[in-house]
Amino acid sequence: MEKIQLTEFKKIKGISAASGLLFSKDVIFIISDNSSFLYQYVIDKDLVLKFPLVKDAKENIVKKDKPDLEAITSFGNQLFLLGSGSTDKRNTMFTLDLTNDQLQTNDLSQLYTFLREIAKLESDELNIEGAICADKTMYLFQRGNGQNSKNGIFIVPDSQERPIQYFPVTLPSLDGIETTFTDAILVDNHIYFLATAENTTSTYEDGEILGSIIGKINFQTFELEDVVVLSEHQKFEGLTLFEQKENTISFLLCEDTDKEVDYSVLYHLIIKN
C-alpha cells in the first residue's frame, strides 16, 4: 500500500453511531451499534431507508440495552448482522434475505460462550467487531480491547464435523497502545482490516482515541503483510469494498466519534499499489 488518499464521502443525517457498512449495487447497508434498524443509503437518490430488525425497533438505545451490532457481512443474497457479544444483550445475529426481505434471528449465546473458552477470554472480554463469510465458514474478528488485549480471528465452519479454531493476532501500536480490530473484509486472497488504538481496557467503556490503521493479512496464513496509519485521532469502525481497478483499490469507511450526534460520516479511501 504505497499511497493512500482519504476524503469525506458523505455525511448522512438520521444515522448515529454507524458501526459497519456493506456496499452493493449503489446501495450502502449500514448498521449502528445503538439501533435495532438496518439502514440502506441509496447513493444516486441520496435517500435513507430503515428496515426494522425487531418488532419495536428503536434508535439511540441506552448503552446497557443496546444490541451493539458491530459486524456486517454477506454471502450470496443474504446479509448477516452480528452483535459484539460484549454483554448478554449483544448476542444476536440477524440474517436478511435480500430477495424476499425474509428476516431470521439467532441467539449466539452458546457459540459466544464457546469462543470465550477456546480463546481463554474473561466473560467481559469477547468483542466481535468484524465478520467474513467465505468457503462455508464464518471468520469472526475479536477486538482485543479488554484487560488482556487479545486480538484474534475465530474460524467457525458451518459443519460440526470441523472444529472451531482461534488464531491470536498481534497488531501494531500507536502511542504505546496496541491497535485492535474494528472491521475486516475479504478481497481476493487478502483480508483488509481496520484497527484502532483506544486508551481503555474495557469492551464496554470508550477511551481516548489515539488513531486508526488499515492493514492487509494473508488469507491463507493469517500473516500481517502491510499496515498504513489512516489517522492519529479518528476511530474508523466500518470497511467495505467500493471499487477495484488494476492499480488501485478503494473502500468506504465509517467513523465512530463516540459522541451523541444525529448523523454519520462516511469516508472514501483510495489505495494505490
* Cβ 227 vs Cβ 248: under 8 Å: no
When the pLDDT of each residue in the chain is averaged and rounded to a whole number, the result is: 94
Position 147 pLDDT exceeds 80:
no
Q: For the chain, give the percent of residues with pLDDT over 70.
A: 97
3-272 architecture in CATH? 6 Propeller (2.120)
- How much is the pTM? 0.95
Q: Where are the domains of the chain?
A: 3-272
CA angle 228, 39, 204 (to 5 degrees): 60
Q: What is the pLDDT of residue 145?
A: 85
pLDDT digits 0-9 by tens, 196-246: 998 876 666 667 899 999 999 999 999 999 999 999 999 999 999 999 999
How many other C-beta atoms lie within 10 A of the C-beta of residue 65?
13
Q: What is the pLDDT of residue 260?
A: 78
Q: What is the pLDDT of residue 204?
A: 62
| Residue with grid cell 469462543, as numbered in its chain | 115
Cell of 4: 493512500
pLDDT digits 0-9 by tens, 69-118: 999 999 999 999 999 999 999 999 999 999 999 999 999 999 999 999 99
Mean pLDDT throughout 148-176?
93
